[in-house]
Chains A and B, each alone.
Chain A
Amino acid sequence: MNLVEKILARASGKPSVEPGEIVIAEVDMLLMHDLSGYLTSGVYDKQVGLPIPHPERTLMVFDHHYSPPTEQQADVLHHNREWARRTGINLLDCGNGNLHHAAVRGGFVKPGMIVVGSDSHTPVHGALGALAVALGNDSHAGTVLPYGKAWFRVPETVRIELTGAPRPGTTPRDIALWLTAEIGEGTMNYKALEFTGPYVKQLGFWDRWLFPLLCVDLGAKSSYVEPDEVTEAFVRALPGGLPYDLPRGDGGEAATVLRYDVSDVVPQVACPPTVGNAKAVSDVAGRQVRYAELGGHGGGRIEDIRTAAEVLHGHTVHPDTRFNIVPSSREVFAQAVREGLVLALHEAGATWFPPSTGSNQAINMGAMAAGEAMISTHARNFPGRNGSTRAEMYLASARTVAASAVAGEIAERSTR
């Protein structure tokens, strides 16, 4: 059995499982943000209302908000706080970072776990070797909270092998965006994707993270990187360390293997209306951007902030563009302070925002007027997600986002 099958067999108490089979398995961690937490708790209180036997297996993070801008939104957070206190679940309040980064940094997710959440990017925890799957509120309220279980269809696994050494200036984020277009949105429906190959294996943890992140746009159920020495060293340094041996699959042949060479990939921008609409930066260079943002599930990492500081060295943000930096967690902001990046980027004209999910869905920031455009490290670019349906969101690497902030338009290098 591969890693996904092993995890599902263990958690459903079966000696083995087969793709296509529906099993009911124990869930190790439920992750919710302020919006999904509100909806799930509402369904739970109205329609279920049973005791929660394992509140320690649920984490709620307020990440779409870092401070509520309206009374209605304050009510949402107030309700969530009260619900978390009443049920005893873990809560990380405003300012702790975005859900997935905060969950990893806090040691809530470990290799081999079954992790669920309504947030569609929940599968990103496959970067740790967890089986991480996005479910809906009714699964959480109806079976995960009261029984600690959920139903799963055992997915077929597709192995994606990446080889080659990327060109200078092409970052892992560019490779991930390119791959989304190359494989095709919605073409991996219901599959589990294993990312492997020499290119993936040599990446550090937070660069590997960018690959399971894209699996939802491909349509996949989950995605993972087989745990190895990189995973082990990373997890050992987290709160709680590695409490058991690293889980591993049997390494058998996958039914489907897709191979890609990343050597010729140039920097990419995912253009509206969907994440799979990736083009070479040079194809869209010159499009004016009113906003540039490092943040969201795909950005706000210390790696992104270091890159931005490098790109802005000796430059300033274009006067017609706002460059917003949203650290993915408190730990990342602290690290940026220690490395002097906060002052350097502030003096170059960037604006720092509290650790959160930033402009994601424009709940707390990031709404745009018709005709405006943003370039960001976010995970989504659907029209209407950030204000006007006639505003445009472009997704790129931290390097391209920072260069565009300097140029005031989509640009590969900071040439102003």
Chain B
Amino acid sequence: MRFEGRSWAFGDNIPTDRLVKPQYVFEPVEVMAQHVLEDLDPEFPLQVAAGDIVVTGRHFGQSSGRAIATKALKGTGIGCVVAESFARTFYRNCFEVGLPAIEVPGIKDLVNRGDVLSVDLSAGEVVNTTTGARATGSPADPFLIDMLEAGGLIALAAKRPELFGT
């Protein structure tokens, strides 16, 4: 699975509460998406375009395990999220809602906002096509690739009932 897009850069330890602030948790995904990460970069929710790639630092998506933060981020239309490391529920939720995610240590120092990245999820590779820099991270497990290809966990369970059925 490959993605190419323009990047947005964020820092370390961003909790889900800053992706979706508590006052928006009951709002529809489209509304949450209009406010994603606005405290950290007010231009992001206004200017993000389909297929863009979000690059973040360590322990991205800590705090709440509810999938709304990943749904809101996916709701912006981004193609993929790349982090130095993820909070594990956030990583899990990315795949379950159909948002490709990849962990690449050292990526933050290799990407400036606006650089164009090429991401290979199965190989665990990211190339900064603007600068030529490359980095290798953790390839996604084949089960997770299946989940993305199905369109998320619920779609996977519907498509392959033998996986979870008795």
Contact = CB atoms under 8 A, between A and B. Distances in A.
Interface stretch (A132-140, A231-239, A329-337): A132-140
Contact of A24 (B67, B85, B164): B164
B163 A134 contact: no
Nearest to B94: A136
How many of chain A's residues touch chain B, expressed as a range? 35 or more
A220 B29 CA distance: 28
A11 interface: no
Given A39-B68, A147-B164, A384-B22, A120 B154 contact: no
B112 interface: no
A120 B39 CA distance: 23
| Most chain A beta carbons < 10 A, residue from B18, B21, B88 | B88
Contact of A382 (B63, B93, B165, B166): B63
B15 interface: yes
A143 B85 contact: no
A362 B21 CA distance: 11
A361 interface: yes
Contact of A120 (B65, B141, B165): B65
Contact of B87 (A72, A219, A385, A389): A219
Interface string A3-27: 0000000000000000000101000
B65 A119 contact: yes
A173 B18 CA distance: 27
SS of A interface (majority): mixed
A81 interface: no
Contacts of B66: 35-36, 39, 118, 136-137
Nearest to A33: B66
Given A143-B157, A385-B17, A134 B85 contact: no
Given A138-B153, A143-B153, A384-B17, A361 B22 contact: yes
Interface stretch (A82-90, A106-114, A184-192, A320-328): A184-192
A138 B88 contact: no
B43 to A, nearest CB: 18
A217 B62 contact: yes
A189 B137 CA distance: 15
Contacts of B62: 120, 185-186, 216-217, 219, 274
B70 A136 contact: yes
A229 to B, nearest CB: 32
Contacts of A247: none
A72 B65 contact: no
Contacts of A38: 26
Interface string A114-131: 000111101000000000
B21 to A, nearest CB: 6
A147 B88 CA distance: 23
A221 interface: yes
B96 interface: yes
A380 B63 contact: yes
A149 B67 contact: no
Contacts, number: 123
Nearest to B69: A136
B58 interface: yes
Interface residues of B, number: 38
| Most chain A beta carbons < 10 A, residue from B63, B85, B143 | B63
Contact of A186 (B39, B58, B141): B58
Given A139-B153, A153-B141, A186-B59, A39 B165 contact: no
Interface string A24-49: 10000000000110110001000110
B96 A384 contact: no
A385 B22 contact: yes
Contacts of B18: 382-384
Contacts of A137: 66-68
B93 A138 contact: yes
B39 A384 contact: yes
Contacts of B67: 39, 118, 136-138
Nearest to B103: A189
Interface string B81-101: 000011111001100110000
Contact of B163 (A24, A135, A189, A389): A24
Nearest to A32: B66
A36 B68 CA distance: 10
Nearest to A142: B154
A154 B152 CA distance: 21
B131 interface: no
A190 B22 contact: no
B64 interface: yes
Contacts of B65: 36, 117-120, 122, 134-136
A361 B18 CA distance: 12
Interface of A: 22, 24, 35-36, 38-39, 43, 47-48, 72-73, 76, 117-120, 122, 134-139, 141-143, 146-147, 149, 151, 153, 185-186, 189-190, 216-217, 219-221, 273-274, 361-363, 380, 382-385, 389
21 contacts: A24-B163, A39-B68, A47-B154, A72-B26, A120-B89, A136-B66, A137-B67, A138-B96, A142-B96, A143-B153, A143-B164, A151-B153, A189-B59, A189-B86, A216-B87, A219-B88, A361-B17, A362-B22, A363-B22, A382-B18, A384-B18
